[in-house]
Amino acid sequence: MSIQLQRRGILCIVSGPSGSGKTTLCRALSQSDPLCDYAVSCTTRKPRTGEVDGKDYHFLTREDFEARTTRGELLEWAEVHGNLYGTLKSAVLDRIGRGEDVLMDIDVQGAELVRRNPDPVISGALIDIFILPPDREELEKRLSGRGTEDPEELALRLRNALEEMRHWRAYGYTIVSGSPEEDLRRFRAIIEGERCRTSRLRGGEEIVNEDQPDFFS
Ligand code: 5GP
């Protein structure tokens, strides 16, 4: 008789400054791992060139965003770089209940709100990872290399990045970013380890049930 264990899903928060590579990392994991899904956030920021509504973000007007917060549709939300960002409960809760893993690419304020959420389904599922850039020079290079922001926005993002990095010790795991391959290998290792955590596993009554001769024979 083989042991049949079901697993509760992981709710994985990934934070780090703009330019740390966290969005690319979350995308890479969710594309290569069928059990891992990326929670598409809502934002009032304008789409960048190439961004697709419903895939990169749900792009909303401020009115629509605020109406959703009033209706209690968001698990968390925060104002970042002057725009509103938030995660829909519907993008997270059913999935972790089904044993799927969900990646949330959110800022440090949103992460703190999720940590303080009293729902045991959330606290039992939660892990958090901070992605640090290797050094300031690389951070500046990555921020300006995207070419998507004007100089004023870039300066704001650099200031915010340095501020955001002050919170890294609040996270259970830290990855100092190296090559995309190294980052993905470490990220996968964390998720694989968390999948084996005993507290996530259900079933297995047969393991201690000596009335089931098949298993013990
Ligand atoms: P960007 O505009 O560069 O896509 O994202 C800016 C920042 O907003 C990033 O730090 C990103 O992690 C954060 N962010 C994206 N989605 C969410 C969300 O749903 N909630 C919160 N709190 N932050 C988010």
Instruction: Report the domain count for the chain.
Output: 1
∠ CA 22-26-29, nearest 5°, is 135
* Residue 157 belongs to some domain of the structure: yes
Ranges of the chain whose pLDDT falls below 50 = none
Residue nearest to atom 3 of ligand 1 (CA): 18
- The boundaries of the domain holding residue 72 are 5-196
**Is the CB–ligand 1 distance for residue 18 below 6 Å?**
yes
Residue nearest to atom 14 of ligand 1 (CA): 106
Atom of ligand 1 nearest to the CA of 87: 19
Residues contacting 78, CB < 8 A, separation 6+: 84, 85, 86, 106, 107, 109, 110, 113
Question: What's the CATH code of the domain at 181?
Answer: 3.40.50.300
**Is the CB–ligand 1 distance for residue 80 below 6 Å?**
yes
* Residue 52 belongs to some domain of the structure: yes
Note the pLDDT tens digit of each residue in 170-209.
999 999 999 999 999 999 999 999 999 999 999 988 888 7
